[in-house]
Amino acid sequence: MKPLFPSRALDWRVGQPLSRRALLGGVARGAVVTLALPPLAAMFNAGGTAYACDGVLPRRFGLWFWGNGNIPDRWTPTNTGDGDAWELSEQLAPLAALKHRLCVVTGLKSLLTNTVPHTSGAAGMLTATPLQSTGDDNTYGAATIDQVIAAAIGGSNIYRSVQTAASDCSGQSYTGPNSRNPPETDPYAFYERIFGETFIEPGKKGVVNPSLGLRRSALDAVMGDISRLNARLGAADKARLEQHLDGVRELEQRLAILEENPPNLEACERTPALSADFSDLLGRPQIEARNEAMSTMLAMALACDQTRVFAHFTHDPVSNLLFEEASSGHHDLTHNEGGDQPEVNAITVRLMEMLATTLQKLEDIEEGDGTLLQNCAVLACTEVSLAQTHAVDELPVVLAGGACGYFKQDHHYRSYSGENVTRLLISLQRSMEMNVSSFGSDAAEDDEGLSGIEA
Amino acid sequence: MHLLLALLSCTQDPTPAETRPAAPEVQSPDTRLKRLTDAQYRNVMRDLFGAEVVVPSSLDPDQRIEGLYAVGASYTTISSYGIEKYESAARSIAGQVMDSESLKAAWVPCTPVDVRDDDCASQAIAALGRKAWRRPLSAEELELLVLVAAEAGLVLDDFHEGLEVAFSALLMSPYLLYRVELGDGERFDDFELASRLSFFLWNTAPDEELLAAAEAGELSEEAGYSAQVDRLLADERSREGLRNFFSEMLQLDRLDSLSKDPTVFTYMSDTLGPSAREESLLGIEALVYEDDASYLDLFTTRRTFLDRTLAALYDVPAPEREGFGEVWLDIADGRRGFLGQASFLALQSHATSTSPTARGIFVREVLLCQVIPDPPADANTGIPEVSRDAATMRDRIAIHLEDPFCASCHVLTDPIGLGFENFDGIGRWREVENDVTIDASGELDGEAFVDAWQLGELIAAHPETGPCLSRTLLKYATGSLSDELDDSLQDWHAEGFEGAGHRVLWLFRDVALSPAFRTPGPVAEDSLSEDTGS
């Protein structure tokens, strides 16, 4: 189907009212044109084919992770409930324009023994499984939630999942122990990945390019190598090589999709080429600019159905990232700043501004009679609450988008009993239409969802 | 000349054979596939296709386990994004080969008679495969790739373009991306030994001579094996192996992404990190190759190599207008040895301040091979801000040593790290901090020191310094966790190293000849060891 507005705006400015949009009309970044557009309903029911959550548009999952926690006293909204019953707290204030799309969850707890500062908390939040050791080092004992969901819903896409970061970091997406999915940290490289050779202009059919077929034939030879090698391996290496084979299969499938059945969603469009210099300024990463650039592209990767799962990292647990205006690295400040930690607080607020940027990119893309964000569940979380004490109760969670109405919206849910954070992970999988009877292991294992946030 | 001296001293066992006991007979570590590290992949491509070949700047990142990429390579997997990058690199490099007349001539040694010429394709694939996979291809493997080339050649109506597809398959194969050195439970075959030696000593794939020795079965023979060990160590290319080992151990690769606030550290610049790495590596090379001196001298030597960036930072005259030159430091400069270098001092610091704790942990863990436990998860780690009563870092972190809860670990690290407080967060000398004179005295395992100049001597004299290098090199060479290496064997190497005057090339040779390196354990059957989080 032809797009209704072929030059539809792609790079909305955060916080703009929907009726007035910043449009980058294919010109250099920064040349902003504003124009008024008709209301949403008039725009999108005309075609009559795509409605949000009618089963036509896919559901997507996003993990949006930041390091080093929050300050619970300044994070937790005072009241609970729906709509006007609750208000955003000081640290959540930057999300005001998106409050109607949020379910803020407070009071959840990781039930894993908190043996390794930050790392145990991350294991509870992302895997619900105790850490495993390799010599003196630790690794996650199981796949992280983004990969659990990607394995179930990502299989038919060009990318089963993508990982990005707003700073040079390792990321926390793992397919299994010692199987890290490193995030792309360079916006230019990510642009090439999304809009380079795997990008098919909306409305175009698959390309019959002999080179794609020949790449598959080379990959077939590689799979033969893997199979012969596998026969000689012990169990430890078999598992590693299985991951390798999985990656080769994913690549081969990608080539097949490009040849035969490229995704073709109405909202898909190439984002403007990048021109900014993202290198550090005075020893400080341009984390906000990088976050915005990555978010714009992530949103379009979803809108183009190149992937249905993303994991985006601002920085890692324990990161000493030097934020603008901060007197010291983030982790250092969480421990060493005195009083009520104004600098740590300012960084947390800044991180929520960055989250708002990402979410707004998703909100600004119309899908059917709603927005892309409504078809997503975005789990924004971190590995501790108060980093100074490495606390793993009061874990801060912002759940955005509602996954097609699966989750309550404009809602603050507080778990007064300190429920197991695993329940949230179960609910998230169910929101992606996965059948989950139990999840996690050891003390973190649970078999219930978090019913208090389900609509 | 220097190299020749090093070679001679290295082949002469300084401990008479009759006084060194035989190596203990112990189980070798389990064998595991090793991913090529980023550096190894690049070196292999450079050796195959020349320094001009363009390899993508970003591949699948290495991960340290127990401090070494070499150990991480035995345990981690290649991500699906990594597979994508290696496939893309393989296609790009195969394309570059066919686009270059000289590379094409080198790797396609025959003139095809038609778009399909299986004989010619077979010659080319066999030749590249033998080098890239570090062993001859089996008949089955060769046949399969010849078929890939033939099919692609017919589709593209061009022999060389078809061969390019087969070359790309070779270059993205697991036989290239992993070191397949699994042994048969009792011994490694000749090609596996060649690969182990070459990656250990040169950080790249075997050269023609080593492959030929493997083909001739020479590496299974004691004399043939040790002759190759000596040849590799005497070759200039062993410098690459030495540099890579120390770069991994001392984390020098991290100097590429130093994050420092230049308003706090006015001598900070983009070139500081890379310059600091080169200073450390040039010093190690000189110590090992020119002097064949004791490793322990690394901590007391007054000689170093500086460029203009570092000379300015150290406040000494630049020895050369361009590049690095030799400088002899003086006690008035306050610094000597590796621990007086910007690489260590800047890496083990924060973005806006020093970190005595991080510096102390580095000394304990990396140089002495001791394990410092993580802080308890419920530790409240706040320290006071700068004030009149707490002007210096020593005052501010005093609580680490006063509070018994903190002190149990910090007593191991802070008294060492505070010894470097005369060097700021990028390694610039300073006498005062916030107008208060810095006290850099402390003690290391019962030995008192007044400043970093003396501390260097204590590190050199510490009984664990030599054994730690030998343990680390054994882990590096075998890609094994410390626990997988038998203690008695580790001790045997450490004692030999001491007997040999702690000479580093001697140690490389000793490890290359080690039963733990030369004989395989069983293939690893574990998934992972037990939980630690419960």
**Alpha-carbon distance A440 to nearest alpha carbon in chain B (angstroms):** 13
Alpha helices in B363-423 (DSSP H): 393-396, 398-402, 404-417
Kindly state whether residue B216 falls inside one of the protein's structural domains: yes
CB contact under 8 A, B65 and A168: no
> Mean pLDDT over all residues of chain A?
87
Tokens of A144: 């992280």
The band of A19, judged by pLDDT with boundaries at 50, 70 and 90, is very low
Tokens of A228: 């012969």
Instruction: Taking residues A69-80, report their average pLDDT.
Output: 97
C-alpha B424/C-alpha A329 separation (Å) is: 16
Residue B369's region, left for phi above 0, alpha for psi from -120 to 50, else beta, is: left
The band of B250, judged by pLDDT with boundaries at 50, 70 and 90, is very high
Is the distance from CB of B166 to CB of B151 less than 8 angstroms?
Answer: no
Instruction: Taking residues B175-183, report their average pLDDT.
Output: 97
Whether the CB of B266 is below 8 Å from some CB of chain A: the reply is no
Between A3 and A245, the higher pLDDT residue:
A245
Instruction: Taking residues B260-277, report their average pLDDT.
Output: 95
Between B530 and A330, the higher pLDDT residue:
A330
Instruction: Taking residues B14-21, report their average pLDDT.
Output: 66
CB contact under 8 A, B33 and A247: no
C-alpha B169/C-alpha B178 separation (Å) is: 14
- Domain ends where: B413, B428, B461? B461
User: Per mean pLDDT, which range of A169-183, A211-225, B344-358, B394-408 is the poorest?
Assistant: B394-408
**Nearest-CB residue to A180 (from B79, B166, B526):** B79
Kindly calculate the radius of gyration of chain B based on its CA atoms and give it in whole angstroms: 26
The band of B388, judged by pLDDT with boundaries at 50, 70 and 90, is confident
**Nearest-CB residue to B534 (from A112, A117, A225):** A112
Kindly state whether residue B534 falls inside one of the protein's structural domains: no
Distances B99 to A222, B80, B127, B160, B164 between C-alpha atoms, Å: 24, 29, 19, 10, 10
CB contact under 8 A, B351 and A329: yes
B:286-345 residues touching chain A, CB 8 A cutoff: none
Whether the CB of B180 is below 8 Å from some CB of chain A: the reply is yes
- The continuous run of DSSP H or E covering B484 comes out as none
Q: Could you give the 3-state DSSP secondary structure of residue B440?
A: coil
**Alpha-carbon distance A395 to nearest alpha carbon in chain B (angstroms):** 15
Whether the CB of B530 is below 8 Å from some CB of chain A: the reply is yes
- My answer on whether B253 and B279 are in the same domain is yes
- Residues B502, B482, B420, B352: is their CA dihedral positive or negative? positive
- My answer on whether B454 and B409 are in the same domain is yes
CB contact under 8 A, A120 and B175: no
- The continuous run of DSSP H or E covering B382 comes out as none
Is the distance from CB of B490 to CB of B466 less than 8 angstroms?
Answer: no
Kindly state whether residue B241 falls inside one of the protein's structural domains: no
**Nearest-CB residue to B87 (from A229, A251, A320):** A251
> Mean pLDDT over all residues of chain B?
93
* A114 contacts in chain B (CB < 8 Å): 377-378
CB contact under 8 A, A285 and B259: yes
Answer whether residue B18 shows pLDDT above 80: no
CB contact under 8 A, B377 and A244: no
- My answer on whether B135 and B52 are in the same domain is yes
In B, minimum Cα distance to A280 occurs at B259
Q: Report the residue of A336, A344, A388, A422 to disrupt the B interface, i.e. the one with the largest count of B CBs within 10 Å.
A: A336
The reported pLDDT for the residue numbered A210 is 81
* B61 contacts in chain A (CB < 8 Å): 170, 182
- Domain ends where: B439, B461, B483? B461
Kindly state whether residue B532 falls inside one of the protein's structural domains: no
> Among residues of chain B, what percentage have pLDDT more than 90?
86
CB contact under 8 A, B531 and A114: no
Whether the CB of A338 is below 8 Å from some CB of chain B: the reply is yes
Give the amino acid at A126: L
Answer whether residue A335 shows pLDDT above 70: yes
CB contact under 8 A, A186 and B58: yes
- Residues B259, A310, A423, A397: is their CA dihedral positive or negative? positive
* A250 contacts in chain B (CB < 8 Å): 80, 83
* B381 contacts in chain A (CB < 8 Å): 335-336, 388
- My answer on whether B265 and B292 are in the same domain is yes
A:387-416 residues touching chain B, CB 8 A cutoff: 388-390, 392
The reported pLDDT for the residue numbered A13 is 27
Instruction: Taking residues A256-285, report their average pLDDT.
Output: 88
**Alpha-carbon distance B136 to nearest alpha carbon in chain A (angstroms):** 14
- The continuous run of DSSP H or E covering A373 comes out as none
pLDDT in tens, A383-396: 999 998 899 999 99
CB contact under 8 A, A168 and B257: yes
Instruction: Taking residues B475-494, report their average pLDDT.
Output: 97
* A179 contacts in chain B (CB < 8 Å): 76-77, 79
- My answer on whether B381 and B490 are in the same domain is no
Whether the CB of B77 is below 8 Å from some CB of chain A: the reply is yes
Buried b / exposed e along B316-353 (16+ C-beta atoms within 10 A): bebbeeeebbebebeeebbbbbbbbbbbbbbbbbbbbb
Q: Report the residue of A112, A146, A215 to disrupt the B interface, i.e. the one with the largest count of B CBs within 10 Å.
A: A215
Instruction: Taking residues A242-251, report their average pLDDT.
Output: 95
Whether the CB of B260 is below 8 Å from some CB of chain A: the reply is yes
Q: Report the residue of A112, A116, A134 to disrupt the B interface, i.e. the one with the largest count of B CBs within 10 Å.
A: A134
The reported pLDDT for the residue numbered A12 is 28
pLDDT in tens, B497-526: 999 999 999 999 999 999 999 999 999 987
B:410-429 residues touching chain A, CB 8 A cutoff: none
CB contact under 8 A, A130 and B61: no
Residue indicated by tokens 């714009």? A296
* B70 contacts in chain A (CB < 8 Å): none
The reported pLDDT for the residue numbered B407 is 85
- The continuous run of DSSP H or E covering B53 comes out as none
The band of B408, judged by pLDDT with boundaries at 50, 70 and 90, is confident
Kindly state whether residue B474 falls inside one of the protein's structural domains: yes
The reported pLDDT for the residue numbered A7 is 31
- My answer on whether B208 and B162 are in the same domain is no
State which residues form the domain around B215: 1-31+187-235+464-526
Answer whether residue B473 shows pLDDT above 60: yes
pTM score of the predicted model? 0.91
* A243 contacts in chain B (CB < 8 Å): 77-78
N- to C-terminal Cα distance for chain A?
A: 33
Q: Number of folded domains in chain B?
A: 3
The reported pLDDT for the residue numbered A53 is 63
Residue indicated by tokens 């991080």? B358
The band of A155, judged by pLDDT with boundaries at 50, 70 and 90, is confident
* A442 contacts in chain B (CB < 8 Å): 531, 533-534
User: Per mean pLDDT, which range of A139-143, B349-353, B530-534 is the poorest?
Assistant: B530-534
Kindly state whether residue B516 falls inside one of the protein's structural domains: yes
- Domain ends where: B157, B180, B203? B180
Between B533 and B90, the higher pLDDT residue:
B90
- My answer on whether B47 and B176 are in the same domain is yes
Instruction: Taking residues B290-299, report their average pLDDT.
Output: 97
Question: ipTM score of the complex?
Answer: 0.92
- My answer on whether B292 and B157 are in the same domain is no
User: Per mean pLDDT, which range of A22-31, A319-328, B357-366 is the poorest?
Assistant: A22-31
CA angle B195/B198/B200 to nearest 5° reads: 105
User: Per mean pLDDT, which range of A2-6, A53-57, A60-64 is the poorest?
Assistant: A2-6
HSE-CB of B272 using CA atoms within 13 angstroms? 27
Task: Number of A to B CB contacts under 8 A, please give it.
Answer: 258
Instruction: Taking residues B368-388, report their average pLDDT.
Output: 80
Answer whether residue A196 shows pLDDT above 50: yes
Kindly state whether residue B27 falls inside one of the protein's structural domains: yes
- My answer on whether B55 and B192 are in the same domain is no
Answer whether residue B59 shows pLDDT above 60: yes
- My answer on whether B498 and B522 are in the same domain is yes
Kindly state whether residue B352 falls inside one of the protein's structural domains: yes
The reported pLDDT for the residue numbered A29 is 31
- My answer on whether B150 and B202 are in the same domain is no
CB contact under 8 A, A282 and B263: yes
Is the distance from CB of A106 to CB of A414 less than 8 angstroms?
Answer: yes
Query: What is the CB neighbour count within 10 angstroms for residue B398?
Result: 15
**Nearest-CB residue to B174 (from A116, A186, A241):** A241
The band of B13, judged by pLDDT with boundaries at 50, 70 and 90, is low
**Alpha-carbon distance A324 to nearest alpha carbon in chain B (angstroms):** 10
- My answer on whether B151 and B293 are in the same domain is no
